[in-house]
Structure 1
Amino acid sequence: MTNLKLTPLAALHRDLGAKMTAFAGYQMPVQYKNGIIHEHLHCRSQAGFFDISHMGQCRIFGDRAAAALDKLTPGGIAELALGQQKYTVLTNAAGGVIDDIIVTRVTDGVGIIVNAGCKDKDFAYLRERLPADCRFEAFTDRALLALQGPGAAAVMAKFSGEAAALNFLQVCETSVAGVTCSVSRSGYTGEDGFEISLPAADAERVAKLLLAEDGVEPIGLGARDTLRLEAGLCLYGHELNETITPIEAGLNWIFKKGHTDFPGAEAILAQRQNAAGRRRVGLLVEGKIPVRDGAILLDSAGREVGIVTSGSFSPTLNRPIAMALIDRALTAAGTRLNAVVRNSAIELTVCPLPFVPHRYHKLAR
């Protein structure tokens, strides 16, 4: 694994006995000594610690930063209150997705978190498309940590009562173990939890303090993927790419009503009005053999009707599950399909998403 970038926690991962892998140009922990299934179930029952410092962090400065970003996304950025986050996508001229991102409204503009594998193209795209009165800055000296699971809030409360009091998709600037951090109540597991942006130089000390808390264990990329799959969350390069529209991916809810001024709007809004020809669905797999991404899906007549975008064994459900893009006519729950795996047909049943209910911390308004 030469020429790979390292996160600020690389030495800590080795000390914790992580099995490392190459991911998006970084050397990252795929699992620790107890294995992926243990890590997955631990996050669902207690609290998991994740190093997500490979993700890209940047900011657009300026009074018109939110309005400018609205013109590159399906909108709703300018309406965000200070300290509020929104999940959205950058779209291309054909209506495909350049990347899915998390946007935070801050006092001097907007903060953005982008996917690690899209970081370079996203930053170049934003620099090129933003107006002259907006200033773009990529943060290369910050780490990003995540604390996820039903025990996360109790752990966070020991370090920052302000952060522990946040609602889902709210953000605050706070001190964690004497380090000034930006903490959001968000994550990629379907569980309640937090993401902590902090200076890279302080990341290892804060990580060790979090890991020293009862019920907190390190979680690698393997369990991060199975957790997000159970939660029915998109992974860029699988459920999203530059040829898949947000409508096909089932992201209708990210659109601001009446917003039409963004790349690919004509194609995307036509799909909203007339329904896209294919849609993302969940699939329950019969038997014990997982159906992986790229598997072709067939209907009862043997016609090709879609493709699996993600598939794995679900530790929570104790069975294989998958997500797929399939013909719209076959998206009803209970529809039976077949996947071609090593020249064999495996039965699958269309089901609602998510596979495991979300447990985000949403207070009644």
Structure 2
Amino acid sequence: MKTGLYDFHIAHQAKMVPFAGYSMPLSYGNVGQIVSHNHVRHSVGIFDVGHMVQSNFRGKTATEFLEWLTPSSLASLKPYSSTLSVLLNEQGGIIDDTIVTKHAPDAFYVVTNAGRRDEDLAWFKQKLEEWNVSDNGKAGPVEHEILDNWGLVALQGPEAASYLQSLTSFDLTKLTFGTSAFVPIEGFNLHVARGGYTGEDGFEISIPPSQTVEVTKLLCKPPVQLIGLGARDSLRLEAGMCLYGSDLDETTTPVEAGLSWVIGKERKENGGFIGAEEVLRQLKEGPARRRVGLVIEGAPARHGAIIFSSSGTEQIGTVTSGIPSPTLGKNIAMGYIKTGWHKKGTEVQVEVRKQLRKAVLTPMPFSKPNYWRG
């Protein structure tokens, strides 16, 4: 599959690679990953994230429906505010991670991962059918609209706000991290959410199909640079953010993943969401394993590398993502480790290229976030 910007990428000498069922840019021209990564950390870059699935849920009981599918407190979310959340299966495992934005009590904008498109859409369809024939649904049915072929671009970096401000009369200082608005940008009226996947200040801009290329061209003037998937991965790992399929899957609960904060306070007490029984049990008793950050000596550990005790005798976990960090100049990784070994500062060993290398458990994010909180 292709996003609406495929031809635009080719015209800008993108190296295209398969990712989550789409042909996506890894890098552009002869600009390397580290240069692109550093440009986002120090200036501003733009990413095509149009492969993500954008949806609207509407209906009188939309809040209750989405609070059944996720453990988040959406009833108390203010209009045009967002939260990271998770779709859970009956065992409390993560079907996908998602951003849920409340537009009104009966209207939500939801973004899910491209790599889980088929699973998510089948889950939504199944659960909507169950909901709409129940007493809840009869009181107010919920409908699901998929925004197929819509564009989605992410403008990220410390200069993102000043650049975007030059294109709009809307006061962007009022748009704090985790909020969104419809913003006039050079004659276009676009949904702009303040946030992103890099740890930097930035915006995710949703664009109707007929306007995607034109708006992206508008957003691509210096100092903005086009950034590919290579830098996106290193930026998100420095920011301590999970990649579905590497760091999250259907056998992993939000408690194990260190995402208990997405579970609403009253929901921790009352449940009422799919998978609640196991999630509440783990919140009470503690999970058997936990997601942790690692700094590794000597060489970078990749997905699947085994974590051993400091003596090297006991296998205690697995690395799920790892890179040499361009910002820190160290080898960083995240993974899952047996509870009891998860405290920061704990020394362990990681098998890299058939050799045990010393590693230290380190709090995430590895790189200090620079979100705009007003």
Q: Do the structures match in fold with TM over 0.5?
A: yes
Q: Map 1:140-219 onto structure 2 (within 5 A).
A: 140-162=148-170, 164-165=172-173, 166-212=175-221, 214-219=222-227
Q: Secondary structure at the match of 1:243?
A: coil
Aligned counterparts of 1:256 and 1:103: Cα–Cα separation in 2: 14
Q: Map 1:63-142 onto structure 2 (within 5 A).
A: 63-107=60-104, 108-130=106-128, 131-132=131-132, 133-142=141-150
Aligned counterparts of 1:162 and 1:119: Cα–Cα separation in 2: 33
What is the identity, as a one-letter code, of the residue corresponding to 2:288? Answer: G
Aligned counterparts of 1:258 and 1:205: Cα–Cα separation in 2: 45
> Which segments of 5 or more consecutive residues in structure 1 lack a partner in the other structure?
none
Alpha-carbon distance, 1:129 to partner: 0.8
Match of 2:347 among 336, 342, 348: 336
Q: Secondary structure at the match of 1:120?
A: helix
Alpha-carbon distance, 1:284 to partner: 0.3
Aligned to 1:61: 58
Cα pair 1:64 1:109 within 8 Å, conserved: no
Alpha-carbon distance, 1:146 to partner: 0.5
Cα pair 2:93 2:250 within 8 Å, conserved: yes
Aligned counterparts of 2:51 and 2:236: Cα–Cα separation in 1: 17
Tell me if 1:319 matches 2:316: no
Aligned counterparts of 1:86 and 1:232: Cα–Cα separation in 2: 17
Aligned counterparts of 1:124 and 1:110: Cα–Cα separation in 2: 19
Match of 2:250 among 229, 242, 252: 242
Cα pair 2:296 2:350 within 8 Å, conserved: no
Aligned to 2:358: 347
Aligned counterparts of 2:88 and 2:231: Cα–Cα separation in 1: 29
Alpha-carbon distance, 1:163 to partner: 6.3
Could you say what the CA RMSD is over the residues aligned between the two structures, in angstroms?
1.1
Q: Secondary structure at the match of 2:265?
A: coil
Q: After superposition, what is the alpha-carbon deviation per residue over 1:171-192, rounded to whole angstroms, capped at 9, x for unaligned?
A: 1112222222100001000000
Aligned to 2:5: 9
Alpha-carbon distance, 1:239 to partner: 1.6
Match of 2:307 among 297, 309, 325: 297
Q: After superposition, what is the alpha-carbon deviation per residue over 1:219-238, rounded to whole angstroms, capped at 9, x for unaligned?
A: 10010000000000111112
Aligned to 1:362: 373
Alpha-carbon distance, 1:11 to partner: 1.2
Q: After superposition, what is the alpha-carbon deviation per residue over 1:7-40, rounded to whole angstroms, capped at 9, x for unaligned?
A: 1111111111111100011000011221100000
Aligned counterparts of 1:75 and 1:334: Cα–Cα separation in 2: 31
Q: How many matched pairs?
A: 357
Q: Secondary structure at the match of 1:44?
A: helix
Q: TM-score, normalised by structure 2?
A: 0.93
Aligned counterparts of 2:358 and 2:37: Cα–Cα separation in 1: 26
Aligned counterparts of 1:283 and 1:295: Cα–Cα separation in 2: 12
Aligned counterparts of 2:246 and 2:257: Cα–Cα separation in 1: 10
> Which segments of 5 or more consecutive residues in structure 2 lack a partner in the other structure?
133-140
Cα pair 1:189 1:227 within 8 Å, conserved: yes
Alpha-carbon distance, 1:342 to partner: 2.5
What is the identity, as a one-letter code, of the residue corresponding to 1:299? Answer: S
Identity %: 42
Aligned to 2:278: 267
Alpha-carbon distance, 1:162 to partner: 2.5
Aligned counterparts of 1:251 and 1:279: Cα–Cα separation in 2: 10
